[in-house]
Amino acid sequence: MLITALWIACLAPVRRAAAGEPRTPAPPDLPVPEQAYRFVLARFQTPIVNLAPGRMHNIALAASRIDGRVLQPGEVFSFNDVVGPRDPAHGWALADEIYQGEYVPGYGGGICQVTSTLYNAALLAGLTIVERYHHDRPLQYISPGRDATVVWGQLDFRFRNSLDRPVQIRARVTPEDPPRVEVTLHGDRPSAGDPIRLEEEYVRFTPPELVEVEDPGLPRGRRVVEDEGYFGVEVRIYRVMGLGPEARRELVSHDVYPPRPGRVRVGTAE
């Protein structure tokens, strides 16, 4: 189906931007305590496609609050515990966020791009996901099934350091134009495990219905599409560890994003 091919083609650059680098040492001229965590276990980036000032502020603030955190072996990282409440008193700005499939203004809008980037880095590093939820709708900056949403007091993103060594989180907004959110997970020695990659299996695309609304201000028979709605997606994400026939394939998630109906005005005037 053409729309399926177009959807996957549009998302492909985002997927290709992901890169796990389990054996790459970081530059040696790092300040303490970063010198203790010189080896990159995984890295993931997402492009910032909405540069609204409030959203940029929230993304940078969320990245700064998780940057430098160290997880000991067995320790669980909670995004909500680390980042804290999203309100003006804690420094958050108003920006668009998703509520029931629609974009509405909210304090902390945009921070889910940081959560989603961190989620993918954790998967690529071989860490254990404890709690994760997807959004109500597909996003522009990441493929369906690869996102992670948070809501203060309701939905958290948590993962466990299941490695036998401490892991340090580094998060930033890159100076590129357009900028990107980058999360890198570092260790005190190179990874001894198999290389890890993520695979996406698109199960189903569901086209949106078009709801017709009579409009006496339009000539009879004329149709004006007011809102095209968006497609629903069902997708499975797998974590593949190793190469060739010996590779192990683990189901990470099976997510369903419902379609949103569109709206078309139909003229009734004589």
2-33 residue pLDDT tens: 333 334 333 333 333 333 333 334 444 445 45
Instruction: Burial-class residue 131 by CB neighbours within 10 Å (0-12, 13-18, 19+).
Output: middle
* Coil vs helix vs strand at 54: helix
Q: What is the arithmetic mean of pLDDT over 145-165?
A: 97
CB atoms within 10 A of CB 100: 8
Phi, psi of 218 (to 5 degrees): -110, 145
Question: Which homologous superfamily does the CATH classification assign to the domain defined by 194-270?
Answer: Resuscitation-promoting factor rpfb. (2.20.230.10)
CB contact set of 196 (below 8 Å; sequence gap of 6+): 20, 22, 42, 123, 124, 125, 126, 239, 240, 241
User: pLDDT-derived band of residue 34, with 50, 70 and 90 as boundaries?
Assistant: low
Phi, psi of 148 (to 5 degrees): -145, 120
What residue ranges do the domains of the chain occupy? 13-193, 194-270
97-116 residue pLDDT tens: 998 888 899 999 999 999 99
122-144 residue pLDDT tens: 999 999 999 999 999 999 999 99
